[in-house]
């Protein structure tokens, strides 16, 4: 079932920072690599998708307002020409994809990554169905490359919120980061924020912001202004020119 974030966590959040849509030509390209149903929504059968009966995901609309959305199926040469990348509960990466992602970031790319250790949002698709969003983030190799480990306290209870830049980031069944020596010898410089639920890393010439949760990306969460504000803060931390 949907993870509900307590209303008191959302009431204090300000109006979302998606005021005026820039003209399409002014929108920077944003590569998006995800197992979430952003492109077509989720339906119990293909016919519903073809008939347009699926409800679009709120995140797609929020991103389209600010960026030119570029859907990615793999991470490799597709990254060429992109400055910004969003990974939202991606599938596990292959070895070549880990290398390509690391090289892209070190070359100056900016990445916002949602990596949830235990997704519990609603899905029409059962466990094992390839159309189902990735239940558990399997990203240990690239996190280790950047000097991070992620763990989860299984004793935690329900919804919570973590403060970042004065904004409450809603989380549920979230992970926490710890620093370690970067694997492979290449340097990376990470700091932890929001009670270690957020990691911010300088990796070569690039920047990475990682949230160890994706509860705010559940389909029903878009109705809350505070969630959209939290998304805006995370996008700003990852992509703003002066955030590094």
- Kindly report the average pLDDT of the chain as a whole number: 83
pLDDT-flagged residues of the chain (< 50): 1-20, 48-51, 123, 126
Yes or no: say if 179 and 200 are a contact pair by the CB < 8 Å rule: no
With CA atoms as reference, report the closest residue to 14 among 235, 227, 237.
227
CATH code, 7-123+131-239: 3.40.50
Rg (CA), the chain: 17
- What pLDDT does 65 receive? 94
State the pLDDT at residue 72: 96
Give residue-wise pLDDT tens across range 33-68: 999 888 655 555 555 444 455 577 899 999 999 999
30 DSSP assignment: E
CA distance linking residue 47 with residue 89, whole number of Å: 26
Per-residue tokens: 16: 């979302």
Domain boundaries along the sequence of the chain: 7-123+131-239
The DSSP secondary-structure symbol of 148 reads E
């Amino acid at each position: 079932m949907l993870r509900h974030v307590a209303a008191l966590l959302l009431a204090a959040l300000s109006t979302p920072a998606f005021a005026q849509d820039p003209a399409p030509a002014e929108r920077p390209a944003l590569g998006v690599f995800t197992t979430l149903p952003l492109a077509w929504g989720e339906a119990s059968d293909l016919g519903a998708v073809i008939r347009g009966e699926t409800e679009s995901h709120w995140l797609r609309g929020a991103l389209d307002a600010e960026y030119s959305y570029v859907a990615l199926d793999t991470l490799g040469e597709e990254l060429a020409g992109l400055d910004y990348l969003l990974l939202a509960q991606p599938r596990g990466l292959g070895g070549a994809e880990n290398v390509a992602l690391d090289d892209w970031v070190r070359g100056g790319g900016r990445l916002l990554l949602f990596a949830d250790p235990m997704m519990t949002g609603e899905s029409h698709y059962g466990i094992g169905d390839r159309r189902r969003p990735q239940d558990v983030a399997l990203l240990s190799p690239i996190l280790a490359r950047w000097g991070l480990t992620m763990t989860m306290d299984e004793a935690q209870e329900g919804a919570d919120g973590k403060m970042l830049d004065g904004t409450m980031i809603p989380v549920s069944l979230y992970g926490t980061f710890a620093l370690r020596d970067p694997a492979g010898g290449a340097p990376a410089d990470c700091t932890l924020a929001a009670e270690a639920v957020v990691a911010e890393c300088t990796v070569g010439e690039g920047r990475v912001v990682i949230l160890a949760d994706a509860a705010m990306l559940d389909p029903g969460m878009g109705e809350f202004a505070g969630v959209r504000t939290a998304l805006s803060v995370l996008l700003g931390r990852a992509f703003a020119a002066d955030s590094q």
